[in-house]
Every structure is written in structure tokens, then in C-alpha cells.
Amino acid sequence: MSRQVQIKQASPRDYDTLGGIMYAAVRHGPSHYSQAQRRAWVPEIRSGPEWTKRLDKKTIFIALTSDDNAGFMSIEPSGYIDLAFIAPNYQGRGVFRALYEAVEAHARSAKMRRLHTHASLMAQSPFAAMGFDVLAHEQVSIGNQTFDRAEMEKHL
């Protein structure tokens, strides 16, 4: 990474920022999904009570540079990694690895024995690089769009 990235635990005041990172990653980053699929997945920047309710159930790590928000990753008490999004200008620059290392350290300190996720086509390679194995390939529907993804896991 050319800029120093700091990883910190996100708080509720970061939730709108996280919604913006997710939107930018899905709608403007490189993708194996069509524009129609991207619009169905993230039609708008997430915010508000439903977004807050979803995020409050997770431990979330956010990657920050001195002048930007680079990405975030969440983990649930079950070891499920629900959200992992990197801002387009930071993809391929080690931000995913830095966030994942914080998530895994948190999981190990909480005595979790297994991490698992449903990885998009873009996230499968980074998760595989962190030692995750594919359990199954699957398709899910959002609106009138179908998405390929993989269920993946890593034993700690």
C-alpha cells in the first residue's frame, strides 16, 4: 500500500461511511457482475434504522488512510463474515488483507474455531488467499437478478 492504512473498530457514527464504501465498491469498482446486477445488489447508499440494526449485531473493522476511507469488514459472534468491501481506489493494495487480519485476530481472541462467509465473485480470490476453502457454489436472487457466489470457510 502506498499510503499508510490504519485499522480501527467501527462505531455507530461510522455507519453512514460504511454504506458509502459499500455503494462505491459495488457500483464503481471492478466487478464480474453486470450493471443491472450491481444496481439490484446496492440500489442506493445504505443508511437509516434498518442499516443501523443490521450493523449493530456485528463487530466491524474499518480501514482508514490520512485522507480517505479505504474499506471495511464485519464479523458476527458465530464467526460469519457478512460484509467485506474495499473502496475502488484501494482494491488490490493490501487493504483486504489488513482488514482480514484484524477480523481473524478478533476471532481468535474470542476463541472462535471457524470463520465462514458467502463470497461474491470478486471476494472469492481474496478469501482463498487468506486460507478459505469453497464448500459450495450457489446462486442467490435479489430482485430480478441472479448472482453467483460461494460458501467458504476457514478453520482456526
Q: Does 137 reside within a domain? A: no
Neighbours of 126 (CB within 10 A): 19
In a domain, 123, yes or no: no
Summarize pLDDT for 94-108 with one digit per residue, the tens: 999 999 999 999 999
Is 156 among the domain residues?
no
State which residues form the domain around 48.
Answer: 6-112
Residue 108's alpha-carbon distances to 54, 77, 116, 156, in angstroms, are 23, 12, 14, 7
pLDDT in tens, 77-89: 999 999 999 999 9
The 8 Å CB, 24+ separation contacts for 130-139 are: 130/97, 130/100, 130/104, 130/154
Please tell me the predicted confidence (pLDDT) of residue 2: 46
Query: What pLDDT does residue 65 have?
Result: 87
Q: What pLDDT does residue 37 have?
A: 96
DSSP type of residue 58: S
Tell whether 129 is covered by a domain: no
pTM: 0.94
In a domain, 57, yes or no: yes
> Rounded to 5 degrees, what angle do the CA atoms 134, 150, 40 make?
170
- Ranges of the chain with pLDDT below 70: 1-3
pLDDT, residue 3, reads 60
In a domain, 142, yes or no: no
What's residue 1's pLDDT?
Answer: 44
In a domain, residue 106? The reply is: yes
**CATH assignment of the domain containing 77:** 3.40.630.30
Strands 84-86 and 69-75: antiparallel
Q: Is residue 140 part of a domain?
A: no
Are 118 and 110 spatial neighbours (Cβ–Cβ below 8 Å)? Answer: no
What sign for the dihedral angle of Cα 144, 148, 151, 152?
A: negative
Query: What pLDDT does 66 receive?
Result: 81
Q: How many domains does the chain have?
A: 1
Cβ count near 148 (within 10 Å): 14
